[in-house]
Structure 1
Amino acid sequence: MAHVKIFAEIPMSKCMREMCKEEDYIFLNSQRKKNKKPGDITLQDSQWQQRLEERHRRRLEREQQEKEKQREVEEAQRKKEDEWKRHVAKLASDRESLQEKLIRLREFREFQKRVLEQDLGLDPDTSNERLTQLLMRL
Structure 2
Amino acid sequence: MRGICKEEDYSFLGISEQTTRGTTEGGGALEDDWRDRREERVRRRLEREQQERERLQEIEESKKEKQQQWQSHVAELTSSQEKSLQDRLTRLRRFRDFQRKVLVEESGMEGEAACLTVDQLLTRM
TM-score past 0.5 threshold? yes
Match in the other structure for 1:25: none
User: Number of aligned pairs?
Assistant: 99
Find runs of 4+ consecutive structure 1 residues off by over 3 angstroms: none
Measure, in 1, the Cα distance between the counterparts of 2:28 and 2:44. Answer: 22
SS at match of 1:122: coil
Question: Which residue among 94, 106, 122 is the counterpart of 1:135?
Answer: 122
Alpha-carbon offset, residue 131 of structure 1: 1.4
Q: CA RMSD in A?
A: 1.8
Residues 91-129 of structure 1: CA deviation (Å, up to 9, x unaligned):
111111000000000000001001101110123xx3331
Q: Which residue of 2 aligns with 1:87?
A: 74
Structure with greater Cα Rg: 2
Question: 2:91, 2:46 → 1: CA distance?
Answer: 67
Percent of residue pairs bearing the same amino acid type: 29
Structure 2 residue runs without a partner (length 5+)? 3-24
Match of 1:115 among 102, 105, 112: 102
- Structure ranking higher in helix proportion: 2
Q: Could you state the TM-score of these two structures normalised by the residue count of structure 1?
A: 0.67
Higher relative contact order (CA 8 A, sep 6+): 1
Matched, 1:42 2:29: yes
When the two structures are superposed, what TM-score results if normalisation uses the length of structure 2?
0.74
Structure 1: gaps (5+ residues): 3-35
Counterpart of 1:75 (choices 62, 81, 89) is 62
